[in-house]
Every structure is written in structure tokens, then in C-alpha cells.
Amino acid sequence: MSRTRALVVVALVVVFIVAGGILIYSNTHKGGQKLTFTVTVTGANKMSPSTLQAHENDTITINVTSDQDGEVHLHEYDIHFDTKAGQTVSHMFKADKTCTCDIEWESTGAPLGSLVVSP
């Protein structure tokens, strides 16, 4: 293999690596987005979806609908959703800390799911 041919191959490999890195980096979520989650609580012991994922600095809106009156509690952020059967309760907040935050049915402590906030 000639020296020129080897340089061309190396240059092409470098171009592909750089282009791939740019594509991957430009498509990653870096925080600062507005996210809305709509969750349904049934039987005071199950939430769907059960895991919510966000990044630090996102603005998060969570809409909770339950089939029972009660309180859904988002730990770490200490947000309470006072639910009335069949009605939707919403809270908007800034994800200003990273965590795997438990979400529970407050009166029984039953785990419903979690909010995962990544850096």
C-alpha cells in the first residue's frame, strides 16, 4: 500500500469518527427542555408509566389522574398531588437536582414509581 493511499484511508476514518461524534452529541438531551408527563394511578398502588426520566434543568410538568381520592407524593422535590377521583392534578417545577425520586401513595406509603433526573 502506498503512503498516499494510507493517508487517504486514515483521513477518511478520522472524518467518519468526527462526523459520528457530532451526530451523537447533537442528538443527546442536555437538559433545559420542557417535559410533560401524564400518569394514571390505579388502586392507590400502581402508576402508569411507573418511571419518568428527565435531566437536570428541565422544566417538568406532571399531570396525575387517580381513580381514588388521596395524595401522591414526589419525594426529594417534596411535591404533593392532592388527587380527586377522575380529576387531573398538575404541578410544574424546575428539575434543579439529580436524583431517583420516589413517588408514593402518601397515606399507605405504597411505592408507585420514580422520577429519575440525570445530570
pLDDT one-digit tens code per residue, 29-49 = 567 999 999 999 999 999 999
Burial 40-52 (b: 16+ CB within 10 A, else e): ebeebeebeeeeb
Sort residue 30 into left (φ over 0), alpha (ψ -120 to 50) or beta: alpha
Report helix, strand or coil for 81.
strand
pLDDT in tens, 91-100: 999 999 999 9
Q: 38 — phi, psi (to 5°)?
A: -115, 115
Residues 6 or more apart in contact with residue 41 via CB below 8 angstroms? 47, 64, 65, 66, 67, 68, 72, 83, 105, 112
Query: What are the structural domain ranges in the chain?
Result: 1-30, 34-118
In the predicted model, is pLDDT for residue 51 greater than 90? yes
In this structure, is the dihedral angle defined by the CA atoms of residues 61, 118, 95 and 20, taken in order, positive or negative? negative
Q: Which pTM was predicted?
A: 0.76
Mean pLDDT over residues 83-106, rounded? 97
Q: Which three cell numbers stand for residue 41?
A: 394511578
Q: What is the CATH number of domain 34-118?
A: 2.60.40.420
- pLDDT per residue as tens digits for the range 3-20: 777 665 555 555 555 444
